[in-house]
């Protein structure tokens, strides 16, 4: 693994103390674990509100727990954010904290506006004062990195080229619009105030610790219990799937050697349809449990009424980050899904804790109750 000298070759920027927002969530907790393993000199202050998708169980067995401090709090809490910046001398922010589920944004957009837009604004204002106005550090020694999504670009047709960093924004859901807005705020603070910022727009993540409202963990856990596997509409929506540990490595490379002011698209180079993803997961479970009463598990697949405004296709062109920073996804779709299934099978205590939450069952019933057989 490339270590800290990789940075010195480029800009001399060396992260020391990071504030990671949303670090108890799916991608954030995986990044905390990854960074502690590859950067022996850093310490992490982890700020998370522990909403439904944030879970302290995601932070057990960290590789270097003495270099990790957890703070329960909201990114919209201006006084808390400002205090943490000064108390811990934060020189790097990696901003994961966000409401992320499109379905939830359709039925309750206000929380997305608050967390994704106001929360990002609160962070930017605080670091502008601390880094730019008060000159707590040289601006060559700090970085604000913002985690965004490919959904800000809208939807692609069957023959359209993948999204690049120059693709115009065209968000189609309240979630995507809130993330597009936060992207624009980050870019504006970089341009107007000279704040050293970077942005990465990633494709659909999957892997360990993902909350089972999302497709892949939902399918794994439902199939194990012999429950129906819900698929929106015809299931032919196409996504670019990215294994979460590959995403973490890409973020680290952007922090280590990315150019301030730049945006980097991060994708997995895989574009199966949703129904294909579900069938692959079912095949893996058939192999793991050949004597299960539910084999073949794909017999559990059902179509449910499609969600409003469902984007048909996403795809990411990651040429820029590959060319400039030498990053490429390590996991194929098959290897990544194998690892994901095996993680859920091996972590039954984590799964049981999540499934005990009555709000998850209520949410699934609300959105996936109207099923009909796929033709």
What is the DSSP pairing of strand 43-48 with strand 301-304?
A: unpaired
Active-site annotation holder among 48, 151, 245, 246:
151
Write the DSSP string, 239-252. Answer: --EEEHHHHHHHHH
- How buried is residue 272: exposed, middle or buried, by Cβ count under 10 Å (0-12/13-18/19+)? middle
Candidates 96, 375, 93; CA nearest to 247 is 96
Active-site annotation holder among 13, 153, 175, 232:
175
Sign of the torsion formed by the C-alpha atoms of 100, 241, 196 and 7: positive
- What letter does residue 63 receive in the DSSP assignment? S
Distance (Å, rounded) from C-alpha 370 to C-alpha 375?
Answer: 16
The reply to whether 175 belongs to the active site is yes
The reply to whether 286 belongs to the active site is no
The reply to whether 87 belongs to the active site is no
Write the DSSP string, 127-182. Answer: HIIIIIIS--S-GGG-EEEEEEEGGGG----TTPPPB-TTSPP---SHHHHHHHHH
Interacting residues of 95 by C-beta distance below 8 A, sequence separation 6+:
21, 22, 75, 120, 123, 144, 145, 146, 147
- How buried is residue 177: exposed, middle or buried, by Cβ count under 10 Å (0-12/13-18/19+)? buried
Active-site annotation holder among 48, 91, 99, 150:
150
What positions carry a catalytic annotation? Answer: 150-151, 175
């Amino acid at each position: 693994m490339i270590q800290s000298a990789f940075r010195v070759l480029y800009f001399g920027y060396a992260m020391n103390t990071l504030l990671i927002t949303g670090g108890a969530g799916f991608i954030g907790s995986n990044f905390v674990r990854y960074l502690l393993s590859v950067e022996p000199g850093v310490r992490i202050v982890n700020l998370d509100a522990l909403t439904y998708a944030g879970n302290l169980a995601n932070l057990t067995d960290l590789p270097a727990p003495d270099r990790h401090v957890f703070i329960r709090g909201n990114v919209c809490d201006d006084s808390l954010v400002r205090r943490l910046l000064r108390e811990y001398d934060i020189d790097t922010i990696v901003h994961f904290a966000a409401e992320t589920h499109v379905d939830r944004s359709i039925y309750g957009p206000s929380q997305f506006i608050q967390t994704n837009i106001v929360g990002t604004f609160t962070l930017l204002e605080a670091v502008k004062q601390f880094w730019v106005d008060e000159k707590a550090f040289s601006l060559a020694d700090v970085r604000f990195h913002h985690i965004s999504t490919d959904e800000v670009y809208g939807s692609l047709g069957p023959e359209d080229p993948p999204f690049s960093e120059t693709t115009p924004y065209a968000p189609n859901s309240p979630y995507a619009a809130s993330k597009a807005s936060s992207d624009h705020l980050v870019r504006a603070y970089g341009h107007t105030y000279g704040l050293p910022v970077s942005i990465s727009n990633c494709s659909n993540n999957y892997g360990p610790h993902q909350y089972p409202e999302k497709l892949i963990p939902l399918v794994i856990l439902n199939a194990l219990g012999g429950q129906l596997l819900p698929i929106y509409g015809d299931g032919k929506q196409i996504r670019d799937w990215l294994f979460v540990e590959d995403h973490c490595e890409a973020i680290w490379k952007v922090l280590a050697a990315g150019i301030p002011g730049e945006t980097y698209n991060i994708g997995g180079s895989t574009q199966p349809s949703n129904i294909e993803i579900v069938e692959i997961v079912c095949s893996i479970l058939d192999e793991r449990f050949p004597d299960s009463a539910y084999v073949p598990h794909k017999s559990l697949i059902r179509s449910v009424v499609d969600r409003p405004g469902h984007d048909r296709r996403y795809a990411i062109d990651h040429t820029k980050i590959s060319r400039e920073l030498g990053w490429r996804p390590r996991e194929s779709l098959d290897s990544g899904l194998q690892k994901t299934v095996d993680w859920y099978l091996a972590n039954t205590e984590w799964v049981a804790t999540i499934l005990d939450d009555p709000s998850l069952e209520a949410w699934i019933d609300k959105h996936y109750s109207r099923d009909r057989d796929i033709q």
